[in-house]
């Protein structure tokens, strides 16, 4: 934490004088001392004065003063922000083979939960879009900063037939800001990223490598995630008709990442999938912005002051 007006904190040096004055006001002057015949009553009165509750209004008032002085110094805290042009499109394979349970509870459920974690943990400021692809690609959510809308949409995704990775890339490209809006950046690809997850091979649409070359021309980076397995064989949780499409082409995913300057990840468990998305969330370029929090501190001071006034009034009524 820092302060825009740190010199205001010098006012805190006056607080010990205020505490001294308060404690002195509780001690009656020597001239007022008298002999008291009822010693039991005197003892009870002394205990009452020593009771912490008796001093609570003053303590709350002191805390209000401290927070008020801190607010006057205009405190600031560092918060991660993204360049407002930063856009990330999550491209998700929704083919039927994603029902396989070699990744528990299933490839699809593990991917959906990992996406939710990524959306929640990504620092504020970046826009996130969602594209799904099976035999065709669909822009489910245009890039937005509304995280709840994204989370709700992820929850509603269903599975379809087929896999068209290239179409998923092209549809994701259409959702990203054009190169003209990013060309003044040191690295335009840092402001436009696709994170593509698939568990199968492309069987329709444009060739994925051709789509990757188009993305590279537009300075768009693609990170690829292959989930499941890379070899043929029985896959739990799938009917026999889908077994042949339940493994992905690792070489193609590696090439897509290489062509666009991205990274390739192989995932075979739900935990590893979450770690992959968390790692990717930290790979973007974030700026530390100093945000002023004077209003929050002032609110705290007001709450303490109100509490002090209420307790003081209650004491007067009881007395």
Q: Distance (Å, rounded) from C-alpha 261 to C-alpha 219?
A: 9
Q: How far apart are CA 259 and CA 262, in angstroms?
A: 8
What is the predicted pLDDT for the residue at 175?
Answer: 96
Rounded to whole angstroms, how far apart are CA atoms 203 and 136? 11
Q: Are 94 and 134 in contact (CB under 8 A)?
A: yes
Name all domains of the chain by residue range, CATH numbers in brackets. Answer: 2-26+40-77+290-318 (no CATH), 84-284 (3.40.50.410)
- Residue 42's pLDDT is 45
Q: From 261, 266, 176, 166, select the one nearest 209 (Cα to Cα).
A: 166
Predicted local confidence at residue 81, as pLDDT: 64
Q: What pLDDT does residue 287 have?
A: 62
Q: Spell out the per-residue pLDDT of the chain, length 319, in tens.
A: 788 888 888 888 888 888 888 777 776 655 545 554 554 554 555 555 456 667 788 888 888 889 888 988 888 887 766 677 789 999 999 998 898 888 889 999 999 999 999 999 887 778 999 999 999 999 999 999 999 999 999 999 999 999 999 999 999 999 999 999 888 888 888 899 999 999 988 989 999 999 999 999 999 999 999 998 876 666 777 776 666 566 788 999 999 999 999 999 999 899 999 999 988 987 775 666 677 888 888 998 899 888 888 887 787 766 5
| pLDDT of res. 39 | 47
Predicted pLDDT of residue 212: 98
pLDDT of residue 136: 95
- Give the pLDDT of residue 82: 65
Rg over alpha carbons for the chain, rounded to the nearest Å, is: 32
């Amino acid at each position: 934490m820092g302060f825009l007006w740190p010199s205001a904190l010098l006012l805190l040096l006056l607080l010990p004088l205020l505490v001294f004055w308060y404690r002195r006001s509780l001690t009656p002057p020597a001239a007022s001392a008298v002999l008291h015949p009822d010693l039991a009553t005197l003892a009870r009165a002394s205990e009452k004065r020593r009771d912490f509750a008796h001093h609570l209004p003053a303590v709350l008032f002191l805390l209000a003063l401290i927070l008020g002085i801190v607010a006057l110094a205009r405190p600031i805290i560092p918060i991660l922000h993204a360049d407002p042009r930063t856009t990330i499109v999550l491209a998700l394979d929704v083919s039927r083979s994603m029902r396989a349970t070699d990744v528990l509870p299933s490839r699809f459920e593990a991917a959906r939960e990992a996406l939710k974690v990524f959306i929640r943990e990504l620092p504020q400021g970046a826009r996130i879009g969602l594209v799904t692809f099976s035999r065709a690609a669909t822009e489910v959510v245009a890039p937005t900063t509304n995280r709840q809308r994204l989370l709700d949409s992820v929850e509603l995704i269903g599975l379809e037939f087929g896999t068209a990775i290239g179409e998923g890339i092209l549809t994701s490209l259409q959702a990203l800001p054009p190169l003209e809006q990013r060309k003044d950046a040191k690295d335009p690809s840092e402001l436009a990223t696709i994170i593509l997850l698939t568990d199968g091979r492309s069987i329709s649409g444009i060739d994925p490598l051709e789509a990757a070359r188009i993305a590279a021309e537009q300075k768009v980076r693609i990170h690829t995630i292959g989930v499941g397995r890379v070899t043929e064989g029985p896959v739990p949780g799938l009917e026999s008709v889908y077994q042949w499409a339940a493994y992905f082409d690792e070489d193609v995913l590696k090439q897509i990442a290489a062509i666009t300057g991205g990274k390739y990840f192989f995932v075979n468990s739900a935990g590893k999938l979450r770690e992959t998305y968390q790692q990717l969330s930290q790979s973007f370029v974030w700026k530390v912005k100093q945000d002023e929090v004077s209003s929050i501190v002032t609110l705290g001071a007001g709450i303490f002051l109100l509490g002090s006034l209420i307790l003081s009034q209650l004491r007067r009524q009881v007395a």
